[in-house]
Amino acid sequence: MDLDDVLRHAGDWDRYQHLLLWLVCLPACIPCGFAAFNQVFMDRIPEHWCKVPTLISAEWTAEDRKAASIPKLGTVYSQCLKYDLNYTDILLENGSNKSLDEAAVTFCTDGWEYDEVDVPSSVVIDFELVCSKSLYPTLGLSALNGGGLVGVLLFGYLNDRIGRKKNYFLCLTVQIVFGIATAFAPNVVWWIIFRFFVGLTIPAILHIPFVICLEAVAPSKRTLVSFYANMFYVVGLMGFSGLAYSTTQWRLIALSTSVPFVLYFLYIIFLPESMRWLLSQGRVKEVVEMLNKIASVNRRCIPEEVVQKFTETMELQREQADCLRNGRRANLRDLLQTPNMRMKTLIISLSWVVNETTYVGLSYYGPSMGSDPYFSFFLSCVVEIPGYVFCLLLMDRWGRRMTLCSCMILSGVAAISTALLPTDAEMLTLILYLIAKCTIAGGTMIIFQFGGELYPTEVRGAGIGLASFLGGIGLTLIPFINYLGTQWLVLPIVTMGAFSVVGGIVTLKLPETLGAKLPQTLEEGEDFGKDFKGWAHTIQQMSRILPESLRCRDKQQEVVDLEQTRCHPNAPCTIPCEQVQDQEL
């Protein structure tokens, strides 16, 4: 008897779970989004040009100053060059600029002027991160994501050492302290350092309460909980876009996305410890107390014999685990030793990296699309909602594989299509961008569950950990891809779109898990999907998505194992479901 069996007696989708989900765990996911994306509005780059103090002292207008001192590159003024002239002499000649065509140019020597109408405050303005220092904001974003890469390892280790609950509040402390420190950074070096430490908590501060909640609900409801967590996360980002719009000072943005979360320390009263972690520590008595509390809130009672059997089972498993520690346990190396497991591991990791980096990259790029950066970012969050809803509905009809592949390819095609539009087609470019963001958001929800189902139980943690680690490496590189957009707006989108299409096509090689018995051991993992033929199964599966009258079945084909098919639309059944039902009877 395991934890899920006892939870059924205590209530695994009742009042306690709803209170925990809606009042504790889902709100606890919000700080992650604020910390992950507040930098998008802290380092906005305004229009800028070389400062000429002599002309400013003469009280010339900004347009007159630019006309007299800044060379044009085509139809726009240069942002990093100025004419190498003696402006004191020009003032004595009543502002004559007759010699500008022959004038030499030089780099800015006295700093820059900024158009602060649209961007009244920015890290870029305060630390003059333009021209030769224009890469610094990108380095700050890469440092943030690099911190997440380290944080996955650090807080993953602490999860097993101090427990999920203490680890969550440690994450929260680090995020708040260094989020506040960001607002008081005296220079760009300290700003980048503080962003790295904020990044340590991303995505750990999101995953910890999410996992605690998953452990307290019925296995059949875990996909729904994942859906709710994604929805809460994106609703938080929608609220953040409004906060950023109303708080135009970058230091205030840093404070307003950190200080309010001090209130989350009140959750120390309500957030439970992970029951599975307690069991791993041999603290069965505390787990029984928590289960009785759940039963009490749900107005149920756990039979004494169930508690007794559960306690005995857990103690026996603890003894067996102690014995196994002296022997060999499955590890990451086992994922790569056999050909089928190796192929699946590589494809899952690739798909994970593509989905995560494309999603985050498109999110970072949202404010650059359209004329209003705040509204564009808001829209990029809103469109995630239909993406999550459609994927939730299609995953159990089309299967994980086809739904994931469709999301990735559609996202990639929409992103690549932006390169075919004229530069002045801002609205159509924004629409294609939103389609790409909507579909890739759904893909990120699928890959987490799909990857977990494909890995055998004994190496599932190692497999997901590997994919997350590689995804973290991708996130440290994605800011540099976005940096390419300073020369051509749609280049980063096209690049991410190409990755998404390739990843979607490769994903077709993965076997479907819907309606199948999932692997438990390494041997089962190697056998699972070993004879799977990607394209042949894809054509067969697509035929089943069509109406019944349009489907074509080969009635001479051998009937597959009825226990696996169960007449599911996506199972490899090649005869009408009515016949299968007759055979079962």
At 139-189, the pLDDT tens digits run: 999 999 999 999 988 998 898 889 999 999 999 999 999 999 999 999 999
The chain-wide mean pLDDT, for the chain, equals 86
At 25-79, the pLDDT tens digits run: 889 889 999 999 999 999 999 999 999 999 999 889 999 999 889 998 888 999 9
Nearest to 126 by CA among 53, 182, 60: 182
Name every residue whose Cβ is closer than 8 Å to that of residue 29 and which is 6 or more positions away in sequence. 206, 209, 210, 229, 232, 233, 236
Every domain of the chain and the residues it spans = 1-46+119-327, 48-115, 337-546
Q: Please report, for residues 57, 59, 66, 104, 527, the alpha-carbon distance to residue 63 in angstroms, rounded to integers and kept in the order given.
A: 15, 11, 5, 20, 71
The Cα–Cα gap between 25 and 202 comes to: 16
What is residue 76's three-state secondary structure?
A: strand
> What pLDDT is attached to residue 326?
56
Binned at pLDDT 50, 70 and 90, residue 297 comes out as: very high
Enter the tokens of residue 266: 């009140």
Cβ atoms 108, 81 nearer than 8 A: yes
Q: What is the mean pLDDT of residues 222-234?
A: 91
Q: What is the mean pLDDT of residues 189-198?
A: 98
Whether the ω angle into residue 203 lies within 30 degrees of 0, i.e. cis, is: yes
On the question of pLDDT at 487 being above 50, the answer is yes
At 441-459, the pLDDT tens digits run: 999 999 988 988 999 877 8
CATH no. of 1-46+119-327: 1.20.1250.20
On the question of pLDDT at 585 being above 50, the answer is no
Give the Cβ contact number of residue 115 at 10 Å: 12
Cβ atoms 231, 237 nearer than 8 A: no
On the question of pLDDT at 557 being above 50, the answer is no
Position with higher pLDDT, 583 vs 257? 257
Binned at pLDDT 50, 70 and 90, residue 95 comes out as: low
Enter the tokens of residue 47: 């229009």
Q: How far is CA 272 from the centre of its chain?
A: 25
Give the Cβ contact number of residue 293 at 10 Å: 13
Alpha helices in 257-297 (DSSP H): 275-280, 284-297
Q: Please report, for residues 4, 176, 365, 412, the alpha-carbon distance to residue 498 in angstroms, rounded to integers and kept in the order given.
A: 42, 37, 16, 6
DSSP single-letter state for residue 111 = -
Structure pTM?
A: 0.86
Comparing 135-149, 288-302, 417-431, 532-546, which segment has the lowest mean pLDDT?
532-546
DSSP single-letter state for residue 94 = T
> What pLDDT is attached to residue 171?
96
Beta-bridge partners for 48? 114
> What pLDDT is attached to residue 549?
44
> What pLDDT is attached to residue 447?
94
- Phi and psi (nearest 5°) for 19? -65, -45
**What H or E segment, with its residue span, contains residue 526?**
helix 522-527
Enter the tokens of residue 58: 């003469």
At 373-423, the pLDDT tens digits run: 999 999 999 999 999 999 999 998 889 999 999 999 999 999 999 988 888
On the question of pLDDT at 568 being above 50, the answer is no
Cβ atoms 104, 38 nearer than 8 A: no
> What pLDDT is attached to residue 7?
93
Q: What is the largest CA-CA distance in the chain?
A: 104
Pairing of strands 72-73, 76-77: antiparallel
Enter the tokens of residue 499: 């990755």
* CA-derived radius of gyration, the chain: 28
> What pLDDT is attached to residue 571?
41
Burial of 571 (0-12, 13-18, 19+ CB in 10 A): buried
Binned at pLDDT 50, 70 and 90, residue 584 comes out as: very low
CATH no. of 337-546: 1.20.1250.20
Beta-bridge partners for 582? none
Cβ atoms 537, 572 nearer than 8 A: yes
Cβ atoms 493, 436 nearer than 8 A: yes
Amino acid at site 488: W
The Cα–Cα gap between 411 and 442 comes to: 10
> What pLDDT is attached to residue 22?
94
Nearest to 315 by CA among 293, 273, 283, 291: 283
Cβ atoms 56, 212 nearer than 8 A: no
Pairing of strands 112-114, 48-50: antiparallel
Pairing of strands 48-50, 72-73: unpaired
The Cα–Cα gap between 386 and 375 comes to: 18
Pairing of strands 81-83, 105-107: antiparallel
Percent of the chain with pLDDT over 90: 61
- Phi and psi (nearest 5°) for 74? 75, -115
Enter the tokens of residue 367: 């404010």
Binned at pLDDT 50, 70 and 90, residue 305 comes out as: very high
1-46+119-327 matches 337-546 in fold: yes
